[in-house]
Amino acid sequence: MTKPALHTQFEGIAGLRAALAQRQVSAVDLAQSALAAAETASSLNSFLHIDAELTLAQARAADVALASGSAGPLAGVPIAHKDAFVTRGWRTTAGSKMLDGYVSPFDATVVERLQQAGAVSLGKLNCDEFAMGSGNENSAYGAVKNPWDHAAVPGGSSGGSAAAVAARLVAAATGTDTGGSVRQPAALCGVSGIKPTYGTVSRYGMVAFGSSLDQAGPLAPSSRDLLELLDVISGFDPRDATSLQKCDDAVNEPGRVRRGFDAAQSRFDAAGSQPLKGLRIGVPEEYFGAGLAPDVAAAVEAALAQFEALGAVRVPVSLPRTELAIPAYYVIAPAEASSNLARYDGVRYGHRAAQYGDLNEMISRSRAEGFGDEVKRRILIGTYVLSHGYYDAYYLQAQRLRRMIAQDFQRAYADQCDVIMGPVTPTVAKNIGDNRDDPTADWLADVYTLGVSLAGLPAMSVPCGFGHGGRPVGLQIIGNYFDEGRLLAIADRYQQVTDWHKRSPL
Ligand code: GLN
Q: What is the pLDDT of residues 449-483, one digit of tens each?
A: 999 999 999 999 999 999 999 999 999 999 999 89
Selected residue with higher pLDDT from 348 and 410: 410
Predicted confidence (pLDDT) per residue in 21-73, tens digit: 999 999 999 999 999 999 999 999 999 999 999 999 999 999 999 999 999 99
Of 174, 173, 161, 171, nearest to 205 by C-alpha is 174
Predicted confidence (pLDDT) per residue in 187-243, tens digit: 999 999 999 999 999 999 999 999 999 999 999 999 999 999 999 999 889 999 999
Predicted confidence (pLDDT) per residue in 131-167, tens digit: 999 999 999 999 999 999 999 999 999 999 999 999 9
Name beta bridge partners: 317.
284
Is the shortest distance between the CB of 179 and ligand 1 below 6 Å? yes
Query: What is the pLDDT, as a whole number, of residue 401?
Result: 98
Query: What is the pLDDT, as a whole number, of residue 442?
Result: 87
Q: How far is the CA of 46 from the centre of ligand 1 (A)?
A: 18
Is the shortest distance between the CB of 213 and ligand 1 below 6 Å? no
Is the shortest distance between the CB of 215 and ligand 1 below 6 Å? no
pLDDT-based confidence at residue 253 (cuts at 50, 70, 90): low
Residue nearest to atom 5 of ligand 1 (CA): 179
What architecture (CATH level 2) is domain 6-269?
Answer: Alpha-Beta Complex (3.90)
Q: How far is the CA of 292 from the centre of ligand 1 (A)?
A: 19
Q: How far is the CA of 466 from the centre of ligand 1 (A)?
A: 23
Is the shortest distance between the CB of 181 and ligand 1 below 6 Å? yes
Q: What is the mean pLDDT of the chain?
A: 94
Q: Is residue 263 scored above 70 in pLDDT? A: no
Q: Tell me the catalytic residues.
A: 82, 157, 181
The neighbour count for residue 5, using CB atoms within 10 Å, is 26
- Pick from 130, 134, 158, 161 the residue to mutate for probing ligand 1's pocket: most ligand atoms within 8 Å of its CB: 134
Selected residue with higher pLDDT from 174 and 267: 174
Q: How far is the CA of 146 from the centre of ligand 1 (A)?
A: 18
Predicted confidence (pLDDT) per residue in 60-79, tens digit: 999 999 999 999 999 999 99
Q: What is the pTM of this model?
A: 0.97
Is the shortest distance between the CB of 333 and ligand 1 below 6 Å? yes
Is the shortest distance between the CB of 134 and ligand 1 below 6 Å? yes
